[in-house]
Amino acid sequence: MKLYVDRLKDSPTGCEFEASDAWRSEAEELIPELRGSLAEPIRVALHAHRMGQDVYIEGVLTGALDLECSRCLVRYREPLREPFRLVLEPAGTRVPAEPEAARALARHGICLGDELEMGWFQGYEIDLGDFIREVLTLALPVQPLCREDCRGLCPHCGVDRNTSPCDCDEQRAKSPFAKLEALKGRDR
């Protein structure tokens, strides 16, 4: 996922990337929940241009994951779509204090700031691989759900409440009254 700074103009240039196997295995190493769940290749479509000395990048990451619903435990496909933006300033003579950031700048021509939307570049070749992995982590659902209103498994009888109803809820709803009835009965 390389961007060549010397080819960029003042007007946006479009690029598309499909994640390589190497990128994917590194992503799976860093984000264990991706292992075995990437159902479609991760794709990136972006536009990049120069803004004075800076490089301005705007794009979207897409893909799909096969995940297990956290409520009903069914496997389902989660489409991924994460827009992103990145402004890179020339690093110039700046050397990042963090060794990891300094390494990234030397090896990949890019290091990111504390905020994901900002960073520095060096040289003419920017490898966006690490940045795109960060974007992917943002795209992952916090709570995997097969659908927004998944009713989940009944905690009492274990039935999937999306497909077959059970009357546990109804009985529980009755129970406060049942207790009340019992109390009343005791008073009498």
Q: In angstroms, give the least distance from the CB of 144 to Zn ion.
A: 8
Select from 3, 34, 146, 153 the one that contacts Zn ion (CB under 5 A). Answer: 146
Select from 72, 103, 127, 185 the one that contacts Zn ion (CB under 5 A). Answer: 72
Q: Which stretch binds Zn ion (CB under 5 A): 31-39, 62-70, 84-92, 106-114?
A: 62-70
Q: Which amino acid is at 174?
A: K
Q: Is 85 in the site for Zn ion (CB under 5 A)?
A: no
CA distance 55 to 49: 6
Q: How many CB atoms lie within 10 A of CB 88?
A: 27
Q: How many CB atoms lie within 10 A of CB 64?
A: 16
Select from 35, 81, 103, 156 the one that contacts Zn ion (CB under 5 A). Answer: 156
Q: In angstroms, give the least distance from the CB of 75 to Zn ion.
A: 10
Q: In angstroms, give the least distance from the CB of 136 to Zn ion.
A: 23
Of 35, 32, 58, the closest CA to residue 131 belongs to 58
What is the 8-class DSSP label of residue 111? Answer: E
**Residue ranges of the alpha helices (H) in 31-162?**
99-108, 129-139
Binding site for Zn ion (CB under 5 A): 69, 71-72, 146, 150, 154, 156-157, 166, 168
